[in-house]
A and B are shown apart, each in its own frame.
Chain A
Amino acid sequence: MMQSSPLNFRRAVIWLGRIVLAGIFIYAGYAKLTMGMHPRPPIGVALSFFAMQVDSYRILPVWGVTFVANTLPFVEIGLGLLLLIGWKLRVWATLITLIMLGFFIAVVRSYAMGLQINCGCFANPEPLTIRTVLRDGALVALAALMTIFAFQEARKPHPWTASQNS
């Protein structure tokens, strides 16, 4: 592939990461607010139910659990949309990578401790298993690659605007 082509390996990873992670973040936030129920439960019920799932990880104090439960679904939807739009991509990609890393650490810790809890990732009764750990690990890897490549690509002029003599 030519160096000036708009699509190379790095850009493909960035696009894949944006689409996959944005989709997951938007869906995860939406699922936490609706709990997969029809009709949708009141927001207070959904958020306090999610708080119980956060609490089951036994990591945060009650005020921390409440804070995370009341903000995370909205943050997930917002970051997902920003990632999809692509504005200030490096900022949001970095934030999403850090959040994914936080999720991954929490999941690995709970799995290693043998806590028999639900993942809470999509506000459904999904048991936390080795599959959850592998899935989160793969997503962290994707987020990290997307972020690193986004920074690397930003150093180079865009192929469509770069001088043809270079």
Chain B
Amino acid sequence: MAAVMVLALAGALSFGVNHKLAVRTGVAATPEVSAAAKALPASVPSTIDLASESSTSAAEVEAVRDPAQVSGVPEIDPHRAFGSKSAPIAMEVFSDFQCPACKQLYKTTNQQLLDNYVNTNKVYLVHRDFPLPMHAHSRVAARYVRAAAQLGKGEQAEQALFQNQEKWEQSGDIDGTLAAVLPATDMTKIRAQAKGTALDAGIDKDVALGKTYNVNQTPTTIIHFKGQTYPVVGIVSYDVLHQFLDQLLSQR
């Protein structure tokens, strides 16, 4: 009985420590990150504690924040963004091509989102690469899709990789997967770009930006509206997301 009481008390005390923002737990903010977090613009999420991200240096935070941003979203690669820049809502999707949940989100939610919100200029959708270290081929996949995006074939490449994820994640044959859907002339250019590391800078920028939002898993969607930021972790059904987006749009 006494043991149960101790456990209960420990739980209550633990709650006292982490109930306000659990992302603060166990991580001491470095002075430079705290200073950078204070210096960030008003669009920085109030629901995220930036100071808790000890692995992100102040320089990294500053590097990815650009005051000339669209709908509160910094550093947008136009090849990886969909919809109108003047849309009232902006959504950044941090994704990993080898992550099964990202595939599910892409197939079940993002397709409908594109049809009903992005193509109707209500949402500006930005794809962010967040290759997780546990996935052997996801960085290479991100390079291929970035290279394809520069030729205007990003959507096709993304679709092919997600739809055939089970096949290429075993073999690592990303090239073959894309070659099956893209013209040979495009593939030659894509291959040349993807083989090098020139595209890594863009991927690393996305990862650094994700860290300022405390992204540590995929998929994570950051929704921006009127200077507020709403982080959504994991898969969310289209029907539930659409209720939230409609609520935001009704506040215009």
A interface vs B, CB < 8 Å? 13, 16-17, 20, 24, 27, 35-38, 41-42, 44-45, 48-49, 51-53, 55-56, 58, 62, 65-66, 115-119, 122-127, 131, 134-139, 141-142, 145
CA distance A62 to B241 in the complex (A): 10
Contact A124 B12 (CB under 8 A): no
CA distance A20 to B19 in the complex (A): 13
Contact A124 B22 (CB under 8 A): yes
Q: Which 7 A-B pairs have the closest CB atoms?
A: A138-B11, A126-B22, A142-B8, A117-B234, A116-B217, A48-B244, A56-B234
Asked if B87 is at the interface of the complex by the 8 Å CB criterion, the answer is no
Using Cβ atoms and an 8 Å threshold, which residues of chain B touch A41? Answer: 228
A90 to chain B, nearest CB (A): 19
Please report the number of residue pairs spanning A and B whose Cβ atoms sit closer than 8 angstroms. Answer: 131
Contact A56 B214 (CB under 8 A): no
The majority secondary structure among interface residues of chain A is helix
Contact B233 A118 (CB under 8 A): yes
CA distance A48 to B10 in the complex (A): 32
Please, what's the 1-or-0 string for B204-224, where 1 marks a CB less than 8 Å from any CB in chain A? Answer: 000000000010111000000
Using Cβ atoms and an 8 Å threshold, which residues of chain A touch B11? Answer: 134-139, 141-142
5 additional contacts (CB under 8 A) given A55-B237, A126-B18: A115-B234, A125-B23, A125-B48, A127-B216, A141-B4
CA distance A117 to B240 in the complex (A): 16
